[in-house]
């Protein structure tokens, strides 16, 4: 296909993505109000799982075809990008207020699961194996941690429902319409992402860009487009609970579901290459979020700018190494 046609498909994909995210955020927010549950819970579940769908599809396809490097890189890269780039952008648009429960529970859970992944992977460094691998038993261990996270979500739903029943906020739409628009918005996000990634890859190939550059940019950014657009739209609407829930939930889903399920199904992942820098950035980005959240229980525009700076420094080192 010609570059012109691919460019038109790329633009169409972005329009579908943005409009889908707009409906998705409004539908999810209205659903939370209808059910009388915290919006952070909806962000941690419906939005997080929905926006993690591209990463899950890429991981299953990659493992089935034997591309093990892409699986770990997809998860680690997306998680770093989610915090440093997406939350950084969101904070620049609208400073993000953070609830005490998020600081005390959800961010530490994200740090814990990120640390678990790094610990399970560093077999040689921790002298527990002859090669750095993620085995099927590691995948099952990760899924067990996810079961604990699910228990936390159920407890949060029960407690949150009791509190939100006192809220006088009215939903934008009735429950049926809220769920319908959430579903339509999610479909728009998924199909829009596919158009953007496929068209951008085709354009890059046509103009002679290398596969390595395509993988580091188009694939990594492409699979995170749902989180990016959904978070930016939610931040613009002032839905900070959805913003943080989406990112934290997506990062937990990425490790536990996007990596855990394919590894538990297909077996050991043995990446041919990996950088300690990526693992440090994975835990470091989560710790940075925790530190910033402690300052007045919010992420300011300045802190958002610092997160974006850290992202560009990290990506510069990736390209240089």
Q: Model confidence over 256-300: pLDDT tens digits? A: 988 898 888 887 777 666 678 888 999 999 999 999 999 888 899
pLDDT band at 319 (very low <50, low <70, confident <90, very high): confident
Task: Band the pLDDT of 184: cuts 50, 70, 90.
Answer: very high
Please give the class, per CATH, of domain 3-320. Answer: mainly alpha
User: What are the tens digits of pLDDT across the range 30-87?
Assistant: 888 888 777 778 778 877 877 777 777 767 777 776 666 667 777 888 899 999 999 9
* 3-class DSSP assignment, residue 311: helix
Q: What is the pLDDT of residues 146-180, one digit of tens each?
A: 999 888 888 877 776 566 566 667 888 898 999 99
Read off the pTM.
Answer: 0.80
Of 231, 224, 175, 246, nearest to 21 by C-alpha is 231
Percentage with pLDDT > 70 across the chain: 85
- Alpha helix segments (H runs only) across the chain: 3-35, 39-42, 48-51, 53-64, 68-81, 88-93, 100-101, 107-121, 136-164, 175-206, 211-214, 220-223, 225-236, 240-253, 260-266, 276-293, 301-320
Q: Which two tokens stand for residue 316?
A: 């510069």
Report the pLDDT averaged over residues 94-99.
Answer: 89
């Amino acid at each position: 296909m010609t570059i012109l046609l691919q460019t038109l498909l790329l633009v169409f994909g972005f329009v579908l993505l943005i409009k889908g995210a707009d409906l998705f955020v409004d539908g999810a927010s209205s659903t939370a109000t209808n059910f009388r549950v915290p919006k952070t819970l909806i962000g941690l579940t419906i939005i997080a799982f929905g926006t993690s769908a591209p990463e899950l599809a890429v991981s299953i396809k990659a493992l089935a075809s034997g591309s093990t490097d892409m699986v770990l890189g997809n998860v680690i890269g997306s998680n770093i990008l989610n915090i440093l780039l997406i939350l950084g952008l969101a904070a620049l648009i609208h400073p993000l207020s953070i609830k005490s429960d998020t600081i005390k529970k959800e961010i530490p859970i994200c740090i814990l699961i990120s640390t678990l992944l790094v610990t399970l992977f560093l077999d040689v460094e921790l002298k527990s194996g002859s090669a750095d691998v993620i085995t099927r038993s590691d995948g099952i261990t990760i899924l067990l941690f996810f079961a604990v996270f699910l228990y936390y979500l159920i407890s949060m739903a029960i407690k949150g429902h009791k509190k939100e029943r006192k809220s006088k906020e009215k939903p934008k739409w009735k429950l049926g319409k809220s769920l319908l628009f959430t579903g339509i918005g999610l479909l728009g996000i998924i199909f829009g992402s596919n158009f953007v990634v496929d068209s951008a890859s085709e354009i890059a190939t046509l103009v002679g860009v290398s596969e390595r550059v395509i993988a580091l940019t188009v694939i990594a950014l492409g699979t995170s487009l749902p989180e990016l657009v959904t978070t930016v739209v939610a931040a613009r609407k002032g839905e900070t609970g959805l913003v943080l829930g989406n990112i934290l939930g997506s990062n937990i889903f990425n490790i536990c579901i996007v990596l855990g399920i394919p590894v538990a199904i297909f077996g050991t992942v043995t990446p041919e290459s990996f950088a300690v820098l990526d693992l440090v950035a994975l835990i470091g980005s989560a710790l940075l979020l925790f530190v910033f959240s402690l300052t007045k229980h919010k992420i300011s525009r300045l802190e958002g700018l610092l997160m974006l700076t850290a992202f560009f420094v990290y990506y510069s080192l990736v390209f240089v190494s």
